[in-house]
Chain A
Amino acid sequence: MKFIDDYRDPKLGQRLIDRIQHLSTTPVRFMEFCGGHTVAIFRHGIRQLLPRTIEMLSGPGCPVCVTANQDLDKAIALARQPGVIIASFGDMLRVPGSHSSLQQAKAEGGDVRVVYSTQDALAIARENPDKALVFIGIGFETTAPTIAASIIQAEAEGINNYYVLSFHKLCPPVMKAILDLGEVSLSGIICPGHVSAIIGSHPYDFIPQDYGIACAVAGFEPLDILLSIDMLINQIETEQYRVEIAYRRGVRPEGNHQALKLMDSVFETGDANWRGIGIVPASGLKLSQKYQRFDAESNFAIDPGPAREPAGCICGSILRGISTPADCRLFKNSCTPEDPVGPCMVSSEGACATYYHYGDTGGG
């Protein structure tokens, strides 16, 4: 475990900062795709240390935040059906949907349980054979393999009351969607760490090749992030764009073969609805034909009605990288972590919550 401290070594950090300062000559704009990176950048005060030439933007990499209200409303509607137990990761409960939230449905008598893992969800399904357990499957390529494993396990054990409402999303397609929207001009992208541990670095190859944008995969320690910025600057200054890995201890270019196989065996790609971005083709994971009987959407009649966004909330534009939380007039006024208006203030990986907590100093 010794390596962790090396990745926090202040002297190495200083050397990297000096090098970035020295190398960076032209103004650049980088997006850190992942909400976990936004948190780490603020937590370690990294923005303050960067030269003025480097602008950092937060991207859409927060699983709770990108879940569209249409989808969240489905989960809430299911929570109101008798005989259904909803199992969800905790952050989801507090996200306001179009008319209500999972937390609200729970207070009104819905059986909604917070779980920490799919194992907890399977245990609840086993203990309640006369009820249907619906797991709200959110997250990117990071969580999808464990959900896939839970479905295979449920099948093997003959657990017939376990269902997954799959809102899983894929990172590379949405990166492409954001680049194609062309609303924000980027010079480089810090690619997600844990997602890349699963999918590897090759799925991002199209970014430097087709768009001429620098890419580096980063971990979540301060030096991982500084190293990725150093790589991006280097690529730009030398005009040699590619996908580099600043997180060698976690990511191999080809990814994690076993996890990918697991995902492939249970899921197939389908369209997904991203908050703020809309339907992006082939950017989501749905249960494959073979596992339809575990699919909540095809086994329950769910009609949540038309969705709407919270009035005044600009989470959508923040997720697209065209606004920052400071641009929202509700930020810190009527929208706070205690009383959030939108998902970006609920999730611990949300940009609004991060700006709120680390405020003035963290942002530099």
Chain B
Amino acid sequence: MADRVLLAHGSGGKLSHDLVAKSLVAVLGNTILDRLDDSAVLEASGRLAFTTDSYTVSPIFFPGGDIGKLSVCGTVNDLAMSGAAPLYLSLSLIIEEGLPLAELETIVASIHQAASEAGVQIVTGDTKVVNQGSADKLFINTSGIGIIPEGLDIAGANARPGDKVIISGTIGDHGIAIMSQREGIEFKVPIVSDCAPLNKLVAEIVSPNVHCLRDPTRGGLAATLNELAGQSRVGIRIDEVSLPVEEAVRAACELLGFDPLYIANEGKLVAMVAPDEAEGILTKMRQNKYGTGAAAIGEVVSDHPGRVIMKTRLGSSRIVDMPVGELLPRIC
């Protein structure tokens, strides 16, 4: 086998077959995938959650993960945010010709590892190879199916005045890890992406007292809180002092002129929960390895519906607006 992915690997012929068999099925296989039929046949009953997402990230390897891990965790987390227990994923790869096979194998291994950790199976998939320049190394799409346990009603429109706002840990790690890698900036303490599957953490805290769950990915915590405030037609107040931010992330933000509120996360969740249950939920979260840094950061109010207001460290207050456009480092 060549040591790079060739266009012929996507032609449907022998090379394609080999690639799928050796590099993918051999690693990711399970009783459903191994059949290699045109569609996976699944057993499931109850309320289903179904989601899809495409992953493009540059660089494809970053401190704390790679595009493979990201594509599993992202979809698992989207399912978990509706309270669902994720079961099955699809996996589509669009590979730019010339990608070293060793890199592909590393990524497939990390897909396998992330799926095993989350307890989901990859049950169907597809591979395409495109001309050089038509993709940036590797694009991945995953779709996922999960089952929502009885009695749960978790949705973006369900936040109520009085609810406490909880974040499962420090913010901004993923985005800054990617940016420092891309810009070649090195910090004394390396900043590592928080990319992680959150379904087990969610399973430990869900109950009818959990009203909203969302993972603050692109656009960061600011975008997520604004979305939830809009969908639930409530106001949200947060307190800057209580926001967990790693020191290295804060230093990087100072250097680049960023606000950690707007930086992407890939292993954090925001929960809006009934006030009386907040302490109990925080305690449970902190026992999970992905929730050790969980903190209550604010509350839902009936004032200023659709708006997020933050009390700053200095005691003043300011609007936390929806982000617009791409985050760019300051040049001044």
Measured CB to CB, the residues of A under 8 A from B are 1-2, 4-5, 8-10, 13-14, 17, 34-36, 39, 42-46, 48-49, 61-64, 89-91, 94, 116-117, 119, 138-140, 142-143, 192, 194-195, 220-222, 226, 337-338, 348-349, 356-362, 364
Contact = CB atoms under 8 A, between A and B. Distances in A.
B204 interface: no
A218 B325 CA distance: 28
Contacts of A62: 332
Nearest to B256: A116
B312 interface: yes
Contacts of B248: 1
B259 A43 contact: yes
Given A117-B183, A358-B319, A194 B314 contact: no
A337 to B, nearest CB: 4
B150 interface: no
Contact of B318 (A8, A34, A45, A138): A45
Contacts, number: 116
A10 B328 contact: no
Contact of A116 (B183, B189, B247): B183
Contacts of A10: 241, 313-315
B152 interface: no
B251 to A, nearest CB: 5
Contacts of B182: 116
B318 A42 contact: yes
A362 B317 CA distance: 7
A349 B330 CA distance: 7
Contacts of A14: 314-315
B257 A4 contact: no
Contacts of B251: 1, 4
A116 B332 CA distance: 13
A46 B332 contact: no
Contact of A221 (B254, B309, B328): B254
Contact of A349 (B241, B254, B324, B332): B332
Contacts of A36: 257, 330, 332
B328 A348 contact: yes
Contacts of B319: 357-362
Majority-rule SS of B interface residues: loop
5 contacts: A49-B316, A61-B332, A89-B331, A142-B331, A222-B313
Interface residues of B, number: 32
B312 A45 contact: yes
B318 A358 contact: yes
A4 B248 CA distance: 10
Given A1-B251, A5-B247, A36-B332, A358 B321 contact: yes
Contact of A140 (B184, B312, B332): B332
Interface string B39-64: 00000000000000000000000000
B257 A43 contact: no
Given A43-B318, A359-B319, A220 B257 contact: yes
Contacts of B312: 43-45, 222
A97 to B, nearest CB: 18
Nearest to B332: A36
A198 to B, nearest CB: 12
Contact of A34 (B188, B313, B332): B332
Contacts of B313: 8-10, 13, 44, 222
Contact of B332 (A43, A119, A139): A139
B3 interface: no
A63 B328 CA distance: 13
A76 to B, nearest CB: 19
Contacts of A195: 332
A338 to B, nearest CB: 6
